[in-house]
Amino acid sequence: MLFWRSTYSKNRDKNSVYELKKIEIGGIEQWILIRGKNRDNPILLFLHGGPGSAQIAVSKAYFSKLEENFIVVNWDQRGAGLSYSKDIPKNTMTVKNFVNDTKELIYYLLNTYNKKKIFLVGHSWGSGLGILVADKYPQLIQTYVGIGQIGDMQENEKIAYEYVYNYAHKTNNIRAIKQLKKIGEPPYNKLINSMRIRSRWTNRFGGKLYKFDMKQFMLNFLISSEYTIADAYKFIKGNSYSMKTMWEEVSNLNLLNLVPKLNVPVYFLLGKYDYTVPFEIAEKYFNKLTAPFKEIIWFNNSAHCIPFEEPLKFQKLLIDKLTDVKY
């Protein structure tokens, strides 16, 4: 992590693509990272989690094998990471605007690389956004892949709270028991503060990251050529801003009711130990969802962050499942 960004790679093949650039999406400047060894390959767009958990800084470390088969696009969404600005009006941080932003970005990518459709991959909050986009604009989506898939957010929170509460008692963690009793069962009186407390204990008890090298992840973030030291500050600010402005709306999403049917092929990738977005609800949504094709794939050594917990298996799976698809 330096004092300037690397926005262009000199050491690349003639037909490859590497661009870190800001474009206008939804009336504001937003940043995208586009990497691929062959611009003739299909486009794979990632929708990161959070809201606010931008991933441009670590994408090169965890998605490089995908670049051999896809034009891989990572996007720091409105208000997140490089796209954070204190000047973004709070009233624009809505699910509807994020759906529109995604549509606008997809059209930009299709026009730029002369494609008809993209592969859409959503993680956590991004999986909620991805479902809504695939539902509204199926003509733009070749296949949708949901990781740590959102289903019914209120049910998610109930199960997540039950998990940490029971785990705290099982391990006799007095501090956790005290804090969890104080916030009480959901729905919470103080939504964001209570959710953060529950989330903190979910992380501590293995419901977010199961087998994960945090030191390596942080090193990958710190040595990123796409982020500067100042951008790390923007990442922190953007994460907080996105959660504060969006969580009330996001926490009420119920995709089981909103989107019971999709007109695109669907994969759900679920971690066996996920209690951040509990796998039980994702599986319930999968069973209810109607789609022309659907498959659920389990990651037995992951919780919520599959791309970073089992990156090699994750990338190989996407390559195996998607590269034979006509686009």
Known catalytic membership, residue 40: no
Q: Name the active-site residue from 101, 135, 152, 304.
A: 304
Rounded CA Rg of the chain: 19
Q: Which of 76, 135, 152, 274 is catalytic?
A: 274
Alpha carbon distance, N-terminus to C-terminus of the chain: 37
d(CA 145, CA 322): 10
CA torsion through residues 285, 287, 289, 293, sign:
positive
Instruction: Reply yes or no on whether 274 is catalytic.
Output: yes
One of 53, 83, 124, 194 is an active-site residue; which one? 124
Instruction: Write the DSSP symbol of residue 247.
Output: H
Q: CA nearest 58: which of 309, 231, 318, 308?
A: 308
- Residue 116: count other Cβ atoms within 10 Å of its Cβ: 10
| Residues 274 and 247 sit within 8 Å (Cβ to Cβ) | no
Sheet strand arrangement including 17-25: 17-25, 28-36, 71-76, 43-47, 118-123, 141-147, 266-271, 294-299
Q: Is 124 a catalytic residue?
A: yes
Query: What residues are labeled active site?
Result: 124, 274, 304
